[in-house]
Amino acid sequence: MGLHHPQSLPPLEYVPNPPPTLMLPNFKQPTIRVPGVNMKPSYTTVPPMSTDPYALPIMTARITHTSPDHSRLCEYTPVVGRRFSEAHVFSPSRTYRTNDHVTRRTSAGSEPLWILDSDPLKADSCGFVDTHCHLDMLYGKMGFQGSFQSFRMAYANSFPVEFSGCITDFCNPRITLKEAIWEGLLGEELVWGAFGCHPHFAKEYNTVHEQSIMEAMRHPKTIAFGEIGLDYSHKNSTDFGIQKEVFERQLRLAISLGKPLVIHCRDADDDLLEIMKKCVPRDYKIHRHCFTNSYSVIEPFLSEFSNLCVGFTALVTYPRAVEARDAVRRIPLHRILLETDAPYFLPRQVPKTLCRFAHPGMGIHTLREISLLKGELLSTVLQAVRQNTTQIYGL
């Protein structure tokens, strides 16, 4: 299949930004249509079962649910057989809390074991969700084959009892086309998904990729659209104009589905804010992923979008990350999300001689650092960040 220039994509046929009348609960939204995309003949247009005023019907023969608690399942038929965990949720029992001090010792395995010296964890203690990781990339880099449960068991010494799950992000459309990869992962316990086209791949974006993303959005465990955005850094050779076009197009698709946004931005904040102000409702749920910049950069976004939360990785565990650490101190705790961006951003506390890549369980190190930077108890930070995760993702 040849790759087509994004400018050859047909225009989306729907209202660019909902005017006040479209925000009324009883207003009938128009159907979103993607001209030129061959939908399966059996598909019919049905309204989504959602009270979201921004949700639009999509081409599907199955009901799509976007309820915040994600407790209802849709009639989703996988393309291939899914891989499910055979046993109950795995929880290593060798993490204890006795005070707000952390001691480290090395495990007999391949990764360090962290023990929180504190009172034994209470039964009602809340856990954390890694809101952004890349399990497919992690498995590839580590040469791992197997279920997520077996991964947690293999690296049990570095999965604390507070770990409650992760959102794995598929942002390379070529991977999204391979249903066997992502369907297997989303069939796992404690794993949810997000789909989109990363700005690094914007020049390859075409109608086939777009259709595969829209298909993935039907999965009952797909809970967000992304990561999408702009990247003007030297690491990305894609033309700025193409990036903007693909970003804006995906914003409109995400909003039509009522899915939370996962935003990537590097060296492009002014353009990003301009496009988002044009396309995104002010109270929309947004995750500004992997923030590494100063507070002055993120402040306009926090002011403009009331439901935007900022994700921090283990980068903040490094003293040299001065700007990001200062941003953690200044951003209100109720606007912060935890993420690992695994396999990237290995925490400072984990020796590379023991482990070369980050994984979702290592989010505990970032939580610990946030508590130190904020001057708050770890339990306070854990509870607040979990509430923020529920607010944005419904988990």
Backbone φ and ψ of 323, nearest 5°: -65, -45
Q: How far is CA 91 from CA 195, 276, 300, in A?
A: 28, 40, 40
Residue 380 pLDDT grade (very low, low, confident, very high; cuts 50, 70, 90): very high
What's the whole-number mean pLDDT along residues 278-297? Answer: 98
**Residue 8's pLDDT band (cuts 50, 70, 90):** low
Query: Where do the domains of the chain lie?
Result: 126-393
Q: Do residues 316 and 325 lie in contact, with contact meaning Cβ atoms separated by under 8 Å?
A: yes
pLDDT confidence of residue 125: 58
Cα atoms found within 13 Å of the Cα of residue 165, Cβ hemisphere only: 19
Please tell me the predicted confidence (pLDDT) of residue 17. Answer: 35
Write the DSSP symbol of residue 352: T
Whether residue 70 has pLDDT greater than 60: no
Q: Does 45 score more than 90 pLDDT? A: no
Residue given tokens 């997520």 in the structure block: 148
Helix residue ranges per DSSP H, 258-314: 269-279, 295-304
Q: Which CATH architecture has domain 126-393?
A: Alpha-Beta Barrel (3.20)
* Residue at token pair 């791992």: 144
* Rounded average pLDDT over 348-366: 94
Predicted confidence (pLDDT) at residue 324 exceeds the cutoff of 80: yes
Supply the pTM of this predicted model.
0.73
Q: What is the tens place of the pLDDT at every residue in 148-199?
A: 999 999 999 999 999 999 999 999 988 888 877 899 899 999 999 999 999 9
Kindly indicate the confidence band of residue 121, based on its pLDDT and cuts at 50, 70 and 90: very low
Q: What percent of the chain has pLDDT over 90?
A: 64
pLDDT of residue 251: 98
- Let me know the angle formed at the C-alpha of 364 by 260 and 191, rounded to the nearest 5 degrees: 45
Report CA-CA distances (Å) from 273 to 48, 197, 206, 239, 277. Answer: 29, 18, 25, 18, 6
At residue 391, does pLDDT exceed 60? Answer: yes
- Separation CA 291–CA 303 (nearest Å): 16
Specify the pLDDT at position 353: 86
Question: Quick one: average pLDDT of 320-348?
Answer: 98
Q: Is the pLDDT score of 85 beyond 60?
A: no
Out of 66-80, 180-194, 275-289, 299-313, pick the least confident: 66-80
State both tokens at 102: 């952390």
Residue 9: what pLDDT? 61
CA distance 280 to 233: 24
User: Residue 103 in 3-state DSSP?
Assistant: strand
Q: What is the pLDDT of residues 219-261, one digit of tens each?
A: 999 999 999 999 999 999 999 999 999 999 999 999 999 999 9
